[in-house]
Chains A and B, each alone.
Chain A
Amino acid sequence: MALFGSLFCRLVLGLVIAFLFLPILIVLTVSFSSSAVFAFPPPGFSLRWYASLGKADSMLQAVWLSTQIAALSTAISLVLGTLCAIAITRGMIPGAKAVATFMASPLMLPGLVLGIAFLQAARDFGLRDTYSTLLIAHVVITMPFIMRTVLASLSLFDFAMVDAARMLGRSYPAALWTVLVPNILPGFVSGGLFAFIASFDNYPVSIFLVDVRTKTLPIQLLNQVEMSPDPTVAAISALLILGTIAALIVCDRLVGLKRMASI
């Protein structure tokens, strides 16, 4: 019976892993396909779709735009979110608990609603620039991920250390930078990573804010699949997977995945 149980567990585990990884494997395989249609298994292998990426200008632009928006919005959220989390943790603002719950919850509104709201707000404020509108919206998207991890890190942080740094001659900002930042770095890295990914693959909010010349990657990818469903999309996806693995390795080197996961 116990043997059966353990076998069963292993089977389920294997299935779950397969379920998670098979799509990735399929995308990777198709990206090396020689066929011009999205067929699995591919009739033969080639690197032609990777080569075609070099000519896919609109796709590369979208990658570049999404990278910028994700990096900038994550950076802005890290700074603003950390300052806000400090204010909440130190009880500097009234209703700190409520603010914390609000800021750290994953967005409670459906992305679509938020997208429409942003579109409306941008119009009302006369904000014409697609790039800025996208950036502001993505700060809102990334903020909860930062708030979550930073609040968790700060709850373990002894603020007497900041006082100690000040008494040793550092101004308050310098004390935060030299004492608080290194001590909650794992929280920054894991929060930052999630925030970056959340921004990078956001579709429902961005769809309302992009224009013809300014498209983020998920939107451009979907366009591409609708218009010419060839394995270029698979090649891009394969590169993104590679990029993610690289990012994880860097994070591991920086703070250790174990420490990150424990935040």
Chain B
Amino acid sequence: MSQQATALPPAAEAQHEPGYLAVSNVTKRFGAATVLDSLSLSVGRAEFVSLLGPSGCGKTTLLRLIAGLLAPDQGAIEVGGRDLTRVAAHRRNIGVVFQNYALFPHLTVAENIAYGLRAKGVPKGEQAKKVADALGLVRMEAFADRAVTALSGGQQQRIAVARAVVVEPSLLLLDEPFSALDRKLRETMQIELRHILRNLGITSIFVTHDQDEALVMSDRIAVMNEGRIEHLGTPSEVYARPKSLYTMEFVGQSSRIGGVVTGGRDGIVEIDTPFGLVRAPGHFLTGSKVVVGVRPEAIAAGEGPAGEYNTVRGTVAEVIYFGSRTLLHFRTAREGDRLHVELNRLPDTVAPGVEMTVRWRLDDSRVFPAPGGADR
């Protein structure tokens, strides 16, 4: 996992002029189904924002609304201060990299890239130069005269990116561009694409259902759930300080233990759980049903000082070895609960059935209202 590597220096965040893309209260229905529900999103200039969510949550729909390929039922979309809500797709100057690339099979690689330049009436000589530059950008110079059908998936992907950016769009939208690539290639392309787009300084909205991809590539991530944005934040915020149980569970691994609030003070609540008393920062009324969430790597073996740590004891159910780390699944008494512990080094004695004490910092715990629990 590469979460640590993705945390951006604060300076990089500050330089994005905010509100370059402004999606305001956009609602989209298909028949009776409301796919996007009064959704708002603000993206800074040159920022790279991922829309992350499970299949069917409305990511593509949002992208198509921004592109102008769909019209919203309500709400407005602005880019660079210009209201685009009623502007036709072909006049928006927004680039799109489609899921299956949508290259034109009747044209060569160079002709594909030149397509947008021709449409915009760029003079022939200038076209050739721009096409050559774009091919250089994606390191595909040698393929200019090939048929696009003769290219591999990764190569097609590069051409799709070159074709979209060569016209210097004001915004680039990418819809799961890596979903057709195998894992290894995907990882190289992620790094390379991020590098290219950062260098171009192009504002990008990137759709993915792959949390690792979102964490690796993004300046900020918008975690989506059923047509709403659950959490918009930097990768480290979304990962380490998720605003909702949904975000916590969707992004990365997590342990979750349900319980009832029995009291608390000074911003720390005490929760009665099947693992005993657990304390965590938060404000909940006594008697509320809550869920405590912790990242598995924030949990360590052994006891900790009572003031700063929660310490619980449990029985190991499964040991999953990953090489550089080991994941322990503990037995849980209640449906839906999960105690997963990630250890870098495994004590020799640990095996399924063994009892073990683990600890985590109060600061590393998050408390959320239990899903479906009206008695908050």
Contacts and interface: CB of A to CB of B under 8 A. Distances in A.
Interface of A: 158, 160-161, 163-172, 174-175, 178-179, 182-183
Nearest to A168: B116
Contacts of A171: 88, 90
A194 to B, nearest CB: 23
A166 B69 contact: yes
A158 B104 CA distance: 10
Chain A CB count within 10 A is highest, among B91, B115, B120, for: B115
B119 interface: yes
B59 interface: no
Interface in B73-89: 88-89
A168 B173 CA distance: 12
A87 B51 CA distance: 31
Contact of B90 (A161, A169, A182, A183): A169
A161 B104 contact: yes
Interface string B249-262: 00000000000000
A167 B90 contact: yes
Nearest to A179: B104
A171 B90 CA distance: 6
B96 A165 contact: no
A209 B96 CA distance: 53
B102 A158 contact: yes
B120 A169 contact: yes
A171 B115 CA distance: 13
Nearest to B166: A168
Contacts of B177: none
9 contacts: A161-B103, A164-B103, A164-B104, A165-B104, A165-B119, A167-B89, A167-B96, A168-B115, A169-B116
Contacts of A161: 102-104
B143 interface: no
A182 B106 CA distance: 7
A41 to B, nearest CB: 51
The 5 closest A-B pairs by CB, nearest first: A168-B116, A169-B119, A160-B102, A164-B102, A182-B106
A6 to B, nearest CB: 40
Contacts of B90: 166-172, 174-175
Chain A CB count within 10 A is highest, among B88, B89, B103, for: B89
